[in-house]
């Protein structure tokens, strides 16, 4: 249980801060005065197609008045103007999703290994590698991040006591499930095909 708590605490803290920034930035962007919109960050609309979870939430709440100005439209770019905190939160949540993948010695891998055992970690690692290798997870980050994981975080940590003494209660198992599901939904693109097939950040 202590092994799980130590490694899950950092992920939960990062997730909480990033989620707070994301929600604050999104709410401020939704309620932005059109006269002040030019002071916000112009963000390519393709960003919202790079994440099924974050893109769906953002696209549902951001107003149509926050779309591209005449200058950006004439340049052929579709832009959405958002608060800087929104971008910081988006990047933070994406980082949490990447480290939350149930692979090797990543935060997600340690959580799965401690809560569900090494057999479950081996199975989830296989599917995560397939998702990264085929580009279904992480969009344009899938290949470089997959290679990084293979070379630096592929081997799971072995803790004999935790292997034979799983954490007590259902709360840690539930948290593990949340980490895995959140990571997958965040790293899945909003569509598997689109303009130019590019869903990169």
> Confidence class of residue 200 from pLDDT cuts 50, 70 and 90?
very low
> What tokens appear for 7 in the block?
């490694």
> What tokens appear for 119 in the block?
């057999």
Determine which of 66-80, 94-108, 147-161 has the lowest per-residue pLDDT on average: 66-80
Half-sphere exposure of residue 33, counting CA atoms within 13 Å on the CB side?
3
Residue 76: predicted pLDDT: 46
- Cα–Cα distance measured from residue 10 to residue 4, given in angstroms and rounded to the nearest whole number: 11
* Residue of 186 and 194 predicted with greater confidence: 186
- Residue closest to 120 by CA, chosen among 106, 130, 110, 135: 110
> Confidence class of residue 66 from pLDDT cuts 50, 70 and 90?
very low
Q: At 22, is the secondary structure helix, strand, or coil? A: helix
Identify whether the C-beta of residue 90 lies closer than 8 Å to the C-beta of residue 47.
Answer: yes
* Residue 201 confidence (pLDDT) above 50: no
Q: Which of 14-23, 74-83, 101-110, 128-137 has the highest mean pLDDT?
A: 14-23
DSSP 47-78: GGGS-HHHHHHHHHHS-GGGB--HHHHHTT--
- Cα–Cα distance measured from residue 177 to residue 183, given in angstroms and rounded to the nearest whole number: 10
45 Cβ contact partners less than 8 Å away, ≥ 6 residues apart: 67, 68, 78, 79, 80
- Residue closest to 128 by CA, chosen among 93, 171, 179: 179
> Confidence class of residue 28 from pLDDT cuts 50, 70 and 90?
confident
Residue 65: predicted pLDDT: 38
Per-residue pLDDT tens over the stretch 147-184: 887 887 766 666 555 454 555 667 888 888 899 999 99
> What tokens appear for 193 in the block?
């095909």
Neighbours of 123 (CB within 10 A): 13
User: Nearest 5 degrees, angle CA 198-CA 47-CA 132?
Assistant: 55
Determine which of 36-45, 84-93, 186-195 has the lowest per-residue pLDDT on average: 186-195
- Cα–Cα distance measured from residue 133 to residue 175, given in angstroms and rounded to the nearest whole number: 26
Task: Please list the residues that pair with 41 across neighbouring strands.
Answer: 82
Per-residue pLDDT tens over the stretch 137-151: 877 777 787 788 788
Residue 88: predicted pLDDT: 94
* Residue 18 confidence (pLDDT) above 90: yes
* Residue 74 confidence (pLDDT) above 50: no
């Amino acid at each position: 249980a202590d092994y799980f708590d130590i490694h899950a605490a950092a992920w939960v803290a990062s997730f909480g801060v990033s989620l707070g920034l994301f929600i604050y930035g999104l709410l401020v962007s939704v309620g932005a005065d059109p006269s002040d919109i030019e002071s916000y960050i112009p963000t390519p609309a393709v960003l919202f197609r790079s994440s099924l979870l974050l893109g769906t939430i953002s696209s549902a709440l951001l107003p149509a008045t926050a779309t591209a100005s005449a200058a950006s439209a004439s340049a052929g770019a579709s832009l959405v103007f958002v608060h800087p905190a929104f971008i910081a939160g988006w990047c933070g949540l994406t980082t949490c999703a990447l480290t939350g993948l149930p692979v090797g010695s990543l935060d997600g891998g340690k959580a799965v290994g401690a809560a569900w055992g090494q057999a479950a970690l081996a199975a989830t690692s296989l599917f995560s590698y397939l998702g990264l290798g085929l580009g279904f997870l992480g969009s344009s980050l899938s290949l470089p991040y997959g290679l990084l994981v293979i070379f630096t975080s592929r081997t799971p940590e072995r803790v004999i006591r935790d292997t034979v003494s799983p954490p007590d209660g259902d709360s840690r198992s539930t948290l593990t499930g949340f980490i895995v599901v959140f990571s997958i939904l965040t790293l899945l693109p909003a569509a598997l095909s689109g303009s130019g097939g590019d869903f990169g950040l």
